Amino acid sequence: MPIRINQLDVTDDVSVKNTVQAILSETGRIDVLVNNAGYGLNGAFEDLAMDEIKAQYETNVFGLIRTTQSVLPIMRRQKSGIIVNISSGAGRFGFPGSSAYISTKFAVEGLSESMSYELEPFGIKVVLVEPGVIRTNFVTVVAKKSQDPNSPYSQIMQKTATVFENMMANASSSPDIVAKVVLNAVTNENPNLRYLAGKDVETWLDSKRNMSDEEFYKMMKQNLMK
């Protein structure tokens, strides 16, 4: 089957509505929605401007809400459909320097889990895919104030930036891993609510499950702020 690409801006109500309507007019149904739009905002929390935080939420959370609310009436009429929300391992635990991004992923986790109860009676499934560090051209924006060398958080941010740059450079997981997880979920008659994507995130969450909060905090601090 040929792939048709339609441009869509998840931060624009009209763009989302028009694109969904165009697909519905052509195909008569929508079976799968994969919410993958997102970017990272780096910076210590105190250095984040309100406009920067709002822009982060507009794409990562409200964009997902827009597209999902647009397709739900269609899926309800069909009595079927699956919504796949690309979250992150960062939706399950926090780390320094990315509080805005991480909080959007925590929001996606809670939103998705809550929706799953409401949508199940209509034959609609909700899936969370939680990747680790993936070799992609993922866009990361550095907060304006965080770029100031006089920021009180400058030293912390330099340390974490170096660690994350090394992690991205040495990432063993390719986008194919996430694609295969998504394909498995959407072709499964009874998909799980959550799927991990990547050995690194499996290791982190295994540590999270088996450590106390204090132990996990200490481990993350040693690894990310050394």
Provide block-wise average pLDDT over 10 residues at a time, the chain (226 residues).
89 98 96 96 96 98 98 98 97 94 98 98 98 84 93 92 82 87 96 95 94 95 84
Spot the catalytic one: 99, 103, 105, 153: 105
* Nearest of 220, 194, 225, 198 to residue 207 by alpha carbon: 220
Interhelix angle 99-119/50-57, rounded to 10 degrees, is 30
87 catalytic, yes or no? Answer: yes
Which pLDDT value is given to residue 1? 67
CATH of domain 13-224: 3.40.50.720
Spot the catalytic one: 87, 98, 99, 112: 87
The helix (H) or strand (E) run that includes residue 168 is helix 154-169
144 catalytic, yes or no? Answer: no
Which pLDDT value is given to residue 168? 77
Indicate the pTM of the whole model: 0.93
As a whole number of angstroms, the distance between CA 81 and CA 65 comes to 16
